[in-house]
């Protein structure tokens, strides 16, 4: 869920998830409540009731601590799928590591699709996402969806890539630039290079590529390792939300 949808849209957003529906073979509606929306629970419950989708993927601010009980009392089965945390950093304020001799890190206009698939599988294959909390959805299909999304984003906007002296890809990130922020949509270091400080160099390259006032990024709450890296670099947490799957009774 993008930074805009999570914090800035100011409304309840409802849309069919066409790509995911094709991938998993069931109809899916996505509903999201922005932190700035002030949407009442009654409006959310009414929207869920109107949906004819097999699964409603609802994301809403975690501060709404009473909502899950109300959602659980409805006609759909409610599954708590994940918690997502959002972090922010003023551009240019990151605690950058010293440069690595022989390494390059920059925004590249394109990346080979096979390379993207391999890197995404290596970095994110074991981490899962909110679909993995729902027995209706196959984990391998969920990973394929993430790979497809990454290929599409990188074709559109390129990728920030960290390469070693031998030109191998060590880390990769996709970014989305809006008017006042740059969102890091996907970023990671290949397993063989993890724990060696490579992520900080990737973040430095993202800062260099960004033309906006702020960098923003999000992840699942249980991904504490990556959040420690963000905190050391200078990011601060600003928001969190819950993901709930509401499954129609069969």
Domain 89-238 class in CATH: alpha beta
Q: Are 97 and 204 in contact (CB under 8 A)?
A: yes
Q: What's the pLDDT at 48?
A: 97
Tokens (6 digits) for 159:
């990728």
d(CA 12, CA 9): 8
pLDDT beyond 80 at 74: yes
* Domain ranges for the chain: 3-84+240-248, 89-238
Determine phi and psi for 12, rounding to 5 degrees. Answer: -80, 120
Q: What's the pLDDT at 250?
A: 72
Q: Which of 60, 193, 67 is nearest to 119 (CA)?
A: 193
**Alpha helix stretches (DSSP H) within the chain:** 3, 18-24, 41-50, 67-72, 113-124, 139-157, 198-209, 224-233
Mean pLDDT of the 48-65 span: 96
Determine phi and psi for 138, rounding to 5 degrees. Answer: -80, 135
The residue with greater pLDDT, 125 or 247, is 247
Mean pLDDT of the chain: 93
Q: Which of 95, 108, 122, 123 is nearest to 203 (CA)?
A: 95
Tokens (6 digits) for 10:
């100011």
pLDDT for 143-183, tens place per residue?
999 899 999 999 999 999 999 999 999 999 999 999 899 99
pLDDT for 95-151, tens place per residue?
999 988 999 999 999 888 998 898 889 888 777 789 989 999 999 999 999 899 999
Residue length, the chain?
250
Is the pTM higher than 0.75? The answer reads yes
Q: What's the pLDDT at 11?
A: 81
Tell me how crowded residue 42 is: count the other CB atoms within 10 A of its CB: 9
């Amino acid at each position: 869920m993008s930074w805009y949808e999570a914090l800035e849209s100011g409304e309840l957003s409802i849309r069919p998830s066409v790509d995911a529906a094709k991938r998993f073979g069931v109809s899916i509606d996505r509903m999201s409540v922005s932190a700035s929306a002030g949407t009442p629970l009654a409006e959310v419950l009414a929207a869920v009731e109107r949906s004819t989708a097999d699964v409603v993927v609802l994301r809403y601010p975690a501060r709404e601590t009473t909502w899950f009980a109300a959602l659980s009392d409805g006609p759909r089965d409610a599954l708590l799928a994940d918690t997502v945390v959002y972090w922010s950093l003023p551009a240019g304020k990151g605690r950058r590591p010293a440069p690595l001799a022989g390494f390059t890190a920059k925004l590249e206009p394109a990346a080979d699709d096979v390379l993207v698939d391999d890197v995404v599988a290596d970095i994110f294959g074991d981490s899962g996402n909110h679909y993995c909390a729902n027995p209706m959805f196959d984990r391998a299909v969920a990973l394929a969806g993430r790979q497809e999304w990454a290929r599409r984003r990188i074709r559109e906007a390129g990728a920030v890539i960290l390469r070693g002296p031998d030109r191998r890809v060590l880390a990769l990130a996709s970014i989305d630039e809006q008017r006042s922020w740059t969102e890091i949509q996907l970023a990671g270091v290949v397993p063989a290079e993890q724990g060696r400080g490579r992520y900080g160099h990737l973040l430095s390259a993202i800062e260099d590529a960004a033309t906006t006032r702020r960098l923003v990024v999000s992840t699942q709450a249980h991904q504490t390792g990556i959040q420690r890296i963000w905190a050391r670099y200078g990011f601060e947490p600003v928001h969190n939300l819950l993901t709930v799957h509401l499954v129609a009774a069969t």
